[in-house]
Structure 1
Amino acid sequence: MGGALYPESLIRVHTHFLNTSVLGNTHSVSNSSKLSLQFADEARAAVLSFFKASDTDYTVIFTANATAALKLVGESYPFADESSLVLGVDSHNSVHGLREFATHKGARTTYITSTPVGGLEVATARNVLLRNRPQSRELAPSLFVLTGQSNITNSKNDLSLIAYAASLGYHVLLDSAALAPTSQLSLANADVDAMAVSFYKMFGFPTGVGALIVKKSFLTQLRRPWFAGGSVDVVQVPGTIVTRAHELHEQFEDGTINYLNLPAVTDGLRFLTAYLPFLPLRLSCLMHFLTTTLSELRHDTTKRPVVQILSRLAGRRLKSVGEQADTGSTVSLLFYGPTGELLPNSFIEHAAAKHRISLRTGCVCNPGGAAAILGIEEDMRQLYPGVTLKDFERHMGRELGVVRISLGLASNFQDVWRVLEFVSLIGKEAVRQSLWAQWKESSTTTRTV
């Protein structure tokens, strides 16, 4: 979810490449620039091939991350007064942020509610899409943004909604930042207008490179609110005349693309291609062992559960290579003390760090999904302009959010075992009290400094 552990082989290959190559800015015709452009084109072709997207229909725009890819669509989409933006409650903040562009242009934003364990119910989603369908795609274009997989609730959404929304006249944008790292995804079957991905989530390196895989026909309908170096051919100064770059993808790539790292995208996709067919089966086994064992752990003094799993559990275990899981590989949970009191997430994060385990806590940039699995949706509705997280937590009387454990490409049985050992230690009175004292002392020192 946060970022994959990068393979040693990928770093070795890319380091050798940098040591033996001289690359230049792609906005030139020098030998080094031509080489950069060649590798950029190879990376675009590799992305299209990996997602089984036709180069006749699709192109690739390289961005800083998946967030920047989503923003490109939001800022350029031709929202109008009668337009609709439809999205799920259980979405990343980078998706929710698109409503600012819609509102600015007079469009309405409509949410599809989340289930108690996250994700969308297909029937509910279809009803919302039907009620808000565009009356005219030309006069009131409307956008449906589907989260492929939640980064907090572990829910995967039904990709059949893509075809349904398209049949009603919507353009469809798919957020695949959490879905792509562990799921095989074919744009030959999921006919989206655009899809956002982040490569470091998929294979760890490089950071700072994401992509918008987008239909050329959809791209011609987007209108950028500005231009920049690299995205134009001629600019009249002073004046108002601008001629955009000839290549469609260049019109949306501002400034200099990350040309030194794009060859690593090609190598990373090649690496992931070899492992991805086997990954869902391995992760299904690890997740089953992790979640069943977590549910069985008890405090040594009272025999109460140490944790409560809030995120969606898999409906079935995979049995063979090639099967696709119905959920992701993320566990969101809460820790409880021996008498049933909620343990602060900040304490758990501190204790995990002491045991060299990296966890994430909080609402992980998905407030709607967090509210759904925490059961605080009504409290979310009571928020007011200017409210801060501290205000919200003061109202609730506790820290908000979850503890998130994410498995991925590099996760193995030892990783899962160490997490379970750590959770079991929280259930031991003497160990927990010692960690609690260290955390309190650390918190006091931090406040003093």
Structure 2
Amino acid sequence: MVDAMAEDLKQNLYGNTHSINPSSMLTEQKVDAVRERVVRYFNTTLSEYSVIFTSGATAALHLLSETFPWSNSSRFTYLEQSHNSVLGIRELCLHHGGDFCALRESEVNVEHPESSQCNACGHTDKSTPTYMAAAAAAAATQTTTEGQQDQPLPYNLFAFPAQDNFAGIKYNLSWIDHIQKARDMCGKRGDWRVLLDAAAFVPSSRLDLGKYTPDFVTLSFYKMFGFPTGLGCLLVHKRSIDILRKLYWGGGSVVVAMTQEPITVFKGNPCAKYEDGTLNFLSILGLNPGFDSLEEIGIDRITHHVWALTLWTYEQLRVLRHRNGQPVVRVYGKHDLGDPRVQGGVISFNVLTPEGTYIGYHHVQKLAARYRFHVRSGCQCNPGACFDYLGLSYEQVSMFFLNKDSCGDEKDVVNGGTLPLGAIRISFGSLTTFEDVQAWVAFLEAFFVDSGEMAAWGLEEGRKRQGVQNPWAAKPFFVEHTGAAVA
């Protein structure tokens, strides 16, 4: 990919698209071609979805949160296993006087959405100036028909990940259609729109937007290809593009802006309207080699490869035992079902001592990094999934996490090793090999399995005392892949 991009830059001159000079026109033409390629890859068209480029999946979520038509009657409902960047949307809903609800997977009733029971709900303080201003604005939008007020249904948003990034659980995409058709969810009437966070899903799974048509889709191309970084997009379905409300604007997103009057005319093209400033056009053009690579391999082959790696590694970890018969790891997820439709290419787990206490994830990761393994630790920016799998209560989270610097810092176990505050995550992509995962399993066996030859599990000094050589020093092993990228 890098070589292909470098060759393209040698052959062509590209410039800011906000002009009609030759380099700018070439850039605009090629950027538009990339937009078309994005939707084609997901089995849809530009007549169905607008492709709005952003600096990543988080920026796409941020853009949606600021442009969604919240009101003081709106509700933001999300799956509890959502990424932090999805959870952040609730602040905008609350700012406008709305409320929010968090659902567990078992609480989503797609046949009867109105019966879905929220695990946790919250709302803004309705005595605040922000809420009262939002209420006044909502009242001002009411229309009068034959002498009676007719308040339109408020816009509500339901968000969930196609695959969560903590345990790799895949969620039922049929939720999309059911929620969109509902007028009542969790006892809240309104015009329900659906946001699909596809960032962790699309690197190794097929997303068919011809079959499933969420109103909004967010993703990161870095997670798909590994290059370029700092680029993602917000896909907006045609039925929802006109409900968005743009406030801040800049760069080439407007046709004209008056300086002495609050008059602004936005560009008619939705992509141009929501892409403020100069596009990261060189990175956008760098997506072509990435799609070339994925299409050459085939997403279905990648899915099968990733699942084979995941299942093999899970089986190896599951049978690891200390000499007293106690398990060496505790795995979180649905791997035991053996079904790639519900379990993605992620294994989150913790390492256990022979006594059943936890070895801190931070210690495991530091030792792994010393031997050039690339893994992730902590809560992986997914507090809902993390706290649920670890069995952490609200009181425990309040007690232990308020003193942490990040979700992956060295404060990794409490209560004498009986309560972990995070986990180790390994994830697999198109470039992960069996050599990688075999080396990882061998690493865990050498350092953390009490076989009677070494009692100081997890300590390099204990291993050295046994005269064991380091077989991993020659090359790095990537067991934390998302697509082609090491995340």
| TM-score, length basis structure 1 | 0.86
Q: How does 1:191-206 map to 2 (within 5 A)?
A: 191-206=213-228
Match of 1:293 among 304, 316, 320: 316
User: CA separation in 2, counterparts of 1:164 and 1:177?
Assistant: 22
Q: Is the contact between residue 77 and residue 100 of structure 2 (CA under 8 Å) also seen in structure 1?
A: yes
Match of 1:46 among 37, 50, 64: 37
Specify whether residues 123 and 97 from structure 1 end up closer, same or farther in structure 2 by C-alpha distance, changes over 3 A only.
closer
Please tell me whether residue 150 in structure 1 is matched to residue 169 in structure 2: no
Please tell me whether residue 358 in structure 1 is matched to residue 358 in structure 2: no
Please tell me whether residue 408 in structure 1 is matched to residue 429 in structure 2: yes
Q: Which residue of 2 aligns with 1:387?
A: 402
Specify whether residues 152 and 391 from structure 1 end up closer, same or farther in structure 2 by C-alpha distance, changes over 3 A only.
closer
User: CA separation in 2, counterparts of 1:314 and 1:59?
Assistant: 39
Unaligned runs of 5+ in 2: 119-149, 183-190, 464-487
User: CA separation in 2, counterparts of 1:47 and 1:137?
Assistant: 38
Match of 1:251 among 273, 277, 281: 273
- Spell out structure 1 runs of 4+ moving beyond 4 A: 122-133, 380-384, 390-396
Q: Is the contact between residue 60 and residue 218 of structure 2 (CA under 8 Å) also seen in structure 1?
A: yes
Q: Which residue of 1 aligns with 2:16?
A: 25
Structure number with the bigger relative contact order (C-alpha 8 A, sep ≥ 6) is 1
Letter of the 2:440 partner, please give it.
Answer: V
Q: How does 1:166-245 map to 2 (within 5 A)?
A: 166-168=180-182, 169-245=191-267
User: CA separation in 1, counterparts of 2:461 and 2:250?
Assistant: 52
1:380: how far off? 5.7
Letter of the 1:422 partner, please give it.
Answer: F
Q: Is the contact between residue 162 and residue 192 of structure 1 (CA under 8 Å) also seen in structure 2?
A: yes
1:430: how far off? 5.9
Alignment RMSD, CA only?
Answer: 2.6
Specify whether residues 433 and 80 from structure 1 end up closer, same or farther in structure 2 by C-alpha distance, changes over 3 A only.
closer
1:66: how far off? 0.5
1:217: how far off? 3.1
What's the secondary structure of 1:34's corresponding residue?
helix
Q: How does 1:79-90 map to 2 (within 5 A)?
A: 79-90=70-81
1:296: how far off? 1.2
Specify whether residues 132 and 420 from structure 1 end up closer, same or farther in structure 2 by C-alpha distance, changes over 3 A only.
closer
1:377: how far off? 3.5
Match of 1:121 among 98, 106, 113: 106
Letter of the 2:155 partner, please give it.
Answer: P
Q: Which residue of 2 aligns with 1:347?
A: 363
What's the secondary structure of 2:373's corresponding residue?
coil
Specify whether residues 126 and 82 from structure 1 end up closer, same or farther in structure 2 by C-alpha distance, changes over 3 A only.
farther
Please tell me whether residue 92 in structure 1 is matched to residue 83 in structure 2: yes
1:378: how far off? 3.7
1:166-214: CA deviations, max 9, x gaps?
0014111110000111111111111111100111101111111101111
User: CA separation in 2, counterparts of 1:63 and 1:263?
Assistant: 14
1:141: how far off? 0.8
Specify whether residues 394 and 39 from structure 1 end up closer, same or farther in structure 2 by C-alpha distance, changes over 3 A only.
closer
1:289-308: CA deviations, max 9, x gaps?
10011011123x53422211
Q: Is the contact between residue 204 and residue 303 of structure 2 (CA under 8 Å) also seen in structure 1?
A: yes
1:288: how far off? 1.5
Specify whether residues 394 and 176 from structure 1 end up closer, same or farther in structure 2 by C-alpha distance, changes over 3 A only.
closer
Q: Which residue of 2 aligns with 1:432?
A: 457
1:391: how far off? 11
Letter of the 2:84 partner, please give it.
Answer: N
1:374-423: CA deviations, max 9, x gaps?
01134367569x93436996995465110001111111111110111111
Letter of the 2:421 partner, please give it.
Answer: L
Specify whether residues 416 and 149 from structure 1 end up closer, same or farther in structure 2 by C-alpha distance, changes over 3 A only.
same
User: CA separation in 2, counterparts of 1:209 and 1:82?
Assistant: 34
More strand by share: 2
User: CA separation in 2, counterparts of 1:433 and 1:197?
Assistant: 37
Unaligned runs of 5+ in 1: 1-9, 114-119, 318-323, 439-449
User: CA separation in 2, counterparts of 1:433 and 1:103?
Assistant: 46
1:143: how far off? 0.7
User: CA separation in 1, counterparts of 2:29 and 2:461?
Assistant: 56
Specify whether residues 128 and 166 from structure 1 end up closer, same or farther in structure 2 by C-alpha distance, changes over 3 A only.
closer
Larger CA Rg, structure 1 vs 2: 2
Q: Which residue of 2 aligns with 1:442?
A: none
| TM-score, length basis structure 2 | 0.79
1:236: how far off? 1.0
Q: Which residue of 1 aligns with 2:125?
A: none
Specify whether residues 130 and 221 from structure 1 end up closer, same or farther in structure 2 by C-alpha distance, changes over 3 A only.
farther
User: CA separation in 2, counterparts of 1:395 and 1:279?
Assistant: 36
1:139: how far off? 3.7
Q: Is the contact between residue 253 and residue 267 of structure 2 (CA under 8 Å) also seen in structure 1?
A: yes
Deviates more, 1:401-410 or 1:11-20: 11-20
User: CA separation in 2, counterparts of 1:243 and 1:346?
Assistant: 52
Specify whether residues 224 and 278 from structure 1 end up closer, same or farther in structure 2 by C-alpha distance, changes over 3 A only.
same
1:79-108: CA deviations, max 9, x gaps?
112111110110000000000010001111
Letter of the 2:171 partner, please give it.
Answer: N
User: CA separation in 2, counterparts of 1:373 and 1:167?
Assistant: 32
Q: Is the contact between residue 328 and residue 352 of structure 2 (CA under 8 Å) also seen in structure 1?
A: yes
